[in-house]
Protein backbone atom coordinates (compact mmCIF):
# COMPACT_ATOMS: atom_id res chain seq x y z
CA UNK A 1 0.00 0.00 0.00
CA UNK A 2 2.65 2.48 1.07
CA UNK A 3 4.72 1.71 -2.03
CA UNK A 4 2.00 2.83 -4.46
CA UNK A 5 1.51 6.21 -2.80
CA UNK A 6 2.84 9.51 -4.09
CA UNK A 7 4.44 10.32 -0.77
CA UNK A 8 5.60 7.74 1.75
CA UNK A 9 6.46 8.21 5.41
CA UNK A 10 8.26 5.62 7.56
CA UNK A 11 8.23 6.00 11.36
CA UNK A 12 11.14 4.37 13.18
CA UNK A 13 11.86 3.55 16.84
CA UNK A 14 13.89 0.85 18.57
CA UNK A 15 11.46 -2.05 18.92
CA UNK A 16 8.62 -1.07 16.53
CA UNK A 17 6.07 -2.13 19.15
CA UNK A 18 5.48 1.15 21.07
CA UNK A 19 6.38 4.58 19.69
CA UNK A 20 6.58 4.07 15.92
CA UNK A 21 3.33 2.08 15.59
CA UNK A 22 1.64 4.75 17.74
CA UNK A 23 3.02 7.39 15.36
CA UNK A 24 1.98 5.40 12.30
CA UNK A 25 -1.53 4.82 13.66
CA UNK A 26 -2.03 8.46 14.60
CA UNK A 27 -0.72 9.87 11.32
CA UNK A 28 -2.62 7.23 9.32
CA UNK A 29 -5.86 8.28 11.01
CA UNK A 30 -5.22 11.95 10.19
CA UNK A 31 -4.48 11.04 6.56
CA UNK A 32 -7.65 8.94 6.33
CA UNK A 33 -9.66 11.76 7.92
CA UNK A 34 -8.54 14.00 5.05
CA UNK A 35 -9.25 11.22 2.50
CA UNK A 36 -5.58 11.26 1.44
CA UNK A 37 -4.88 7.56 2.05
CA UNK A 38 -4.32 6.82 -1.67
CA UNK A 39 -1.75 9.63 -1.88
CA UNK A 40 0.13 9.46 1.42
CA UNK A 41 1.43 6.05 2.48
CA UNK A 42 2.57 5.10 5.98
CA UNK A 43 4.61 2.35 7.59
CA UNK A 44 6.79 1.82 10.66
CA UNK A 45 9.87 -0.20 11.54
CA UNK A 46 12.40 -0.74 14.32
CA UNK A 47 16.16 -0.42 14.33
CA UNK A 48 16.21 -3.63 16.41
CA UNK A 49 14.92 -7.07 15.41
CA UNK A 50 13.73 -8.53 18.76
CA UNK A 51 10.02 -8.02 18.12
CA UNK A 52 9.79 -8.72 14.38
CA UNK A 53 6.33 -10.11 13.56
CA UNK A 54 4.74 -8.95 16.82
CA UNK A 55 1.72 -6.67 17.16
CA UNK A 56 2.12 -3.42 19.08
CA UNK A 57 2.63 -3.64 22.86
CA UNK A 58 -0.74 -4.01 24.61
CA UNK A 59 -0.12 -0.79 26.58
CA UNK A 60 0.42 1.08 23.31
CA UNK A 61 -2.75 -0.46 21.86
CA UNK A 62 -4.68 0.47 25.00
CA UNK A 63 -3.59 4.09 25.00
CA UNK A 64 -4.34 4.38 21.29
CA UNK A 65 -7.79 2.80 21.73
CA UNK A 66 -8.59 5.25 24.54
CA UNK A 67 -8.26 8.06 21.98
CA UNK A 68 -10.03 6.22 19.18
CA UNK A 69 -7.11 4.81 17.17
CA UNK A 70 -6.82 1.15 16.16
CA UNK A 71 -3.35 -0.34 15.58
CA UNK A 72 -3.94 -4.06 16.18
CA UNK A 73 -3.32 -4.76 12.47
CA UNK A 74 0.30 -3.53 12.61
CA UNK A 75 3.24 -5.97 12.84
CA UNK A 76 6.81 -5.14 13.75
CA UNK A 77 9.60 -5.30 11.20
CA UNK A 78 13.21 -4.16 11.09
CA UNK A 79 14.27 -1.17 9.03
CA UNK A 80 16.48 -1.95 6.01
CA UNK A 81 18.59 0.00 3.52
CA UNK A 82 15.89 -0.48 0.87
CA UNK A 83 13.57 1.68 2.99
CA UNK A 84 15.59 4.80 2.15
CA UNK A 85 14.70 4.34 -1.51
CA UNK A 86 11.10 3.34 -0.85
CA UNK A 87 10.20 6.21 1.51
CA UNK A 88 10.30 10.00 1.13
CA UNK A 89 10.70 10.66 4.86
CA UNK A 90 12.21 8.33 7.47
CA UNK A 91 11.35 9.75 10.89
CA UNK A 92 13.27 8.84 14.06
CA UNK A 93 11.62 8.94 17.49
CA UNK A 94 14.85 9.73 19.38
CA UNK A 95 18.50 10.63 18.80
CA UNK A 96 19.67 7.01 19.08
CA UNK A 97 17.25 6.02 16.32
CA UNK A 98 18.41 9.02 14.28
CA UNK A 99 22.06 8.04 14.57
CA UNK A 100 21.34 4.40 13.69
CA UNK A 101 19.32 5.50 10.65
CA UNK A 102 21.98 7.95 9.50
CA UNK A 103 24.64 5.24 9.75
CA UNK A 104 22.49 2.82 7.78
CA UNK A 105 21.41 5.35 5.16
CA UNK A 106 24.70 7.01 4.26
CA UNK A 107 25.09 10.56 2.98
CA UNK A 108 22.99 10.01 -0.15
CA UNK A 109 19.78 9.86 1.88
CA UNK A 110 20.55 12.25 4.71
CA UNK A 111 17.79 14.70 3.69
CA UNK A 112 15.12 12.04 4.16
CA UNK A 113 16.12 11.15 7.72
CA UNK A 114 14.70 13.50 10.37
CA UNK A 115 13.53 13.59 13.98
CA UNK A 116 9.75 13.15 14.07
CA UNK A 117 9.36 15.94 16.64
CA UNK A 118 10.92 18.42 14.17
CA UNK A 119 7.32 18.61 12.92
CA UNK A 120 5.74 19.33 16.34
CA UNK A 121 5.26 23.10 16.26
CA UNK A 122 5.74 24.73 19.64
CA UNK A 123 6.70 21.44 21.31
CA UNK A 124 9.75 21.82 23.57
CA UNK A 125 10.83 18.16 23.39
CA UNK A 126 13.17 16.86 20.67
CA UNK A 127 12.63 13.19 21.35
CA UNK A 128 9.70 10.84 21.90
CA UNK A 129 10.89 9.05 25.07
CA UNK A 130 10.98 5.25 25.17
CA UNK A 131 7.95 4.16 27.29
CA UNK A 132 8.73 0.42 27.28
CA UNK A 133 10.17 0.10 30.77
CA UNK A 134 7.95 2.70 32.44
CA UNK A 135 4.33 3.01 33.56
CA UNK A 136 1.12 3.92 31.72
CA UNK A 137 1.76 7.67 31.98
CA UNK A 138 4.64 7.21 29.58
CA UNK A 139 2.31 5.97 26.85
CA UNK A 140 -0.08 8.91 27.32
CA UNK A 141 2.89 11.29 27.05
CA UNK A 142 4.10 9.54 23.90
CA UNK A 143 0.66 9.95 22.35
CA UNK A 144 0.51 13.66 23.28
CA UNK A 145 3.80 14.23 21.45
CA UNK A 146 2.85 12.00 18.53
CA UNK A 147 -0.48 13.79 17.99
CA UNK A 148 1.24 17.19 17.95
CA UNK A 149 3.93 16.07 15.50
CA UNK A 150 1.43 14.27 13.25
CA UNK A 151 -0.52 17.48 12.67
CA UNK A 152 2.65 19.35 11.72
CA UNK A 153 3.82 16.48 9.56
CA UNK A 154 0.58 16.42 7.59
CA UNK A 155 0.89 20.16 6.90
CA UNK A 156 4.50 19.59 5.75
CA UNK A 157 3.56 16.73 3.44
CA UNK A 158 0.63 18.65 1.98
CA UNK A 159 2.94 21.59 1.20
CA UNK A 160 5.42 19.28 -0.52
CA UNK A 161 2.69 17.61 -2.58
CA UNK A 162 1.03 20.88 -3.59
CA UNK A 163 3.61 23.65 -3.38
P1 LIG B 1 9.78 1.17 21.08
O2 LIG B 1 9.93 0.62 22.58
O3 LIG B 1 11.18 1.40 20.57
O4 LIG B 1 9.04 2.44 21.28
O5 LIG B 1 9.03 0.10 20.32
C6 LIG B 1 10.72 -0.49 22.90
C7 LIG B 1 10.22 -1.75 22.74
C8 LIG B 1 10.99 -2.85 23.10
C9 LIG B 1 12.26 -2.65 23.61
C10 LIG B 1 12.76 -1.37 23.75
C11 LIG B 1 11.99 -0.29 23.39
N12 LIG B 1 13.03 -3.76 23.99
O13 LIG B 1 14.13 -3.56 24.52
O14 LIG B 1 12.61 -4.91 23.77
Query: What pLDDT does 67 receive?
Result: 98
Pocket of ligand 1 (CB under 6 A): 13-19, 50, 130, 132
Q: Please identify every residue annotated as catalytic.
A: 13, 19, 130
Nearest CA owner, ligand 1 atom 9? 15
Residues β-bridged to residue 89: 9
Nearest CA owner, ligand 1 atom 6? 15
- Reported as a single tens digit per residue, the pLDDT across 83-110 is 999 999 999 999 999 999 999 998 999 9
Average pLDDT over every residue of 31-44: 98
CB contact at 8 A, 156 and 120: no
Q: How many residues does the chain have?
A: 163
Amino acid sequence: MANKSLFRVLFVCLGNICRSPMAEGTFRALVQGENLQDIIGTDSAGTGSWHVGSPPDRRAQGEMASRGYGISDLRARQVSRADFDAFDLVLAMDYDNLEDLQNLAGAQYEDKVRLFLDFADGEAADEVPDPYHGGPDGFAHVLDLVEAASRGLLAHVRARLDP
